[in-house]
A and B are shown apart, each in its own frame.
Chain A
């Protein structure tokens, strides 16, 4: 099905850089919708789980059946998780272990590159047209033990940092903090063609 309007894409607005994602979605041709309650999921064509603190976001998902509603949504409609969002999507979380949506067949290791002083900006090749991508890593997780159907779209050294499995897209970095909108456009296109 092709949408005949600009897609309405939710941004989970519990905590984190949801405003940066909303601005990036607007620039990529979608209508962003801030989502703080499970009932707001109903009218959306897709959703972004932003960067922030995954432990904080989980505290909110535990209430009012939000966790189950969001999991159901992620299995039906396109979802894009960045950094903390990719942790929420993983099958399993380590360092420490915590609950996750299990929408993406991989294990997320939190704070895998160290603390804030180890955060970095790198530019690497990705499987997107238009040349290398700038990637902003902030207290980033590492995705390991990827399942056979998870496609790696970019790596930093050997680590997968941009992956896709069906309609689930995940980045361990923050495309919303770069000026390059290719990844958000790629996600919006996947929502339109879903």
Chain B
């Protein structure tokens, strides 16, 4: 009997590898992926029904408030979180920082998020994601950006909102934009697709697939600014296939997390938010259940209106 020791991957063709990567993304559909900064938060997320956790040192709200260079989380933290939960564990690498991605793959994370939330390491090139066995998720604000990431090997797209704000407005804007751009392709003639590919700055073959199917060739999740059960239901109804929640579960004020380790009331608040968003994501089309779960939430992060953020300070504009 063969048994993998988990430190190396079997040699597989690119097509097989991509099917396995997209396969894990398929398994996450209808679920919530929660940002966690320590083992206790990871356990709360799993217990509440998160389908995956994203291990990081600072959630976007803290990165925004504190500034500095935001990098890959430290390996010891990622290993602790992998040990603590049975669900898939994701971690973020900086845009273009393939060495961070190599380290994350070696640590055994199940999905790598090449994320604009961290400080970009390359202002022209994203990571060649085909070179990895571990699947990647990337953010996108429009169809062209999504298809460029898929061409580079992304197995999942998350439409970008403005991370760390608790304001869902940009997540809505970009989901609507991508859905509208996909729908527009489906009515074009074969001859018009070449110019469409040029306009979207995306590979013709991928543009053609979207024109035929009306959807992305990989799952499309939503991230950035989702803070309440109603926000999650809104994004699911707009076409998201699953939800990422960053600062929305464990943050109290802009740069202050709820103290889930020492303060029972704040722990209970985090648990109530996590459970309610999980329920809302599954029952996104059932207003009666949405009303019930919304009522169970004992508090919501204060948040920061996305309109108050100058464009140079936006995280979503990172990525090329």
Contacts and interface: CB of A to CB of B under 8 A. Distances in A.
A152 B238 CA distance: 43
A51 interface: yes
Interface stretch (A1-9, A67-75, A108-116): A108-116
Contacts of A136: 19-20, 23
A59 B26 contact: no
A121 to B, nearest CB: 5
Contacts of A31: none
A15 B30 contact: yes
A138 B30 contact: no
Interface residues of B, number: 44
A164 to B, nearest CB: 23
A130 interface: no
A189 interface: no
Contacts of B110: 115-116, 139
Contact of A51 (B26, B133, B135): B26
Contacts, number: 120
B105 A59 contact: no
Interface in A61-111: 83-84, 95-96, 110-111
B29 interface: yes
Contacts of A157: 1-2
Interface string A45-59: 000000111011001
Contacts of B88: 53, 115-116, 139
A52 B30 contact: yes
A53 B52 contact: yes
Contacts of A51: 26-27
Given A15-B31, A56-B51, A177-B19, A117 B278 contact: no
A119 interface: yes
A121 B111 CA distance: 18
Given A15-B30, A110-B86, A116-B88, A36 B282 contact: yes
Given A52-B30, A53-B52, A59-B278, A117 B9 contact: yes
A80 to B, nearest CB: 17
Given A116-B135, A117-B9, A138 B20 contact: yes
A41 interface: no
A160 interface: no
B10 interface: yes
Interface in B234-254: none
Interface string B151-181: 0000000000000000000000000000000
A158 B4 contact: no
A20 B26 CA distance: 8
A36 B283 contact: yes
Given A20-B26, A59-B49, A118 B283 contact: no
A53 B1 contact: no
A59 B134 CA distance: 28
A81 B245 CA distance: 29
Contacts of B282: 13-15, 36, 60
B36 to A, nearest CB: 15
Interface size of A as a range: 35 or more
A38 interface: no
Contacts of B10: 120
A114 B6 contact: yes
**Residue among A15, A16, A18, A95 having the largest count of chain B Cβ atoms under 10 Å:** A15
A147 to B, nearest CB: 22
Given A56-B278, A95-B86, A19 B29 contact: yes
A158 B1 CA distance: 7
Contacts of B19: 121, 136, 177
A184 to B, nearest CB: 16
Contacts of A177: 19, 23, 26
Interface of B: 1-6, 9-10, 12, 16, 19-20, 23-24, 26-31, 46, 48-52, 82, 86-88, 105, 108-111, 133-135, 275, 278-279, 282-283, 286
Interface of A: 13-20, 36, 51-53, 55-56, 59-60, 83-84, 95-96, 110-111, 113-121, 136, 138-139, 157-159, 174, 177
27 contacts: A14-B30, A17-B26, A20-B26, A51-B26, A51-B27, A52-B29, A53-B27, A53-B88, A56-B31, A56-B87, A59-B48, A59-B275, A60-B279, A83-B27, A110-B86, A113-B4, A115-B88, A116-B110, A116-B135, A117-B9, A117-B105, A119-B23, A138-B24, A139-B24, A157-B2, A177-B23, A177-B26
Given A16-B26, A56-B49, 6 more contacts: A55-B49, A59-B49, A59-B278, A113-B3, A118-B9, A138-B24
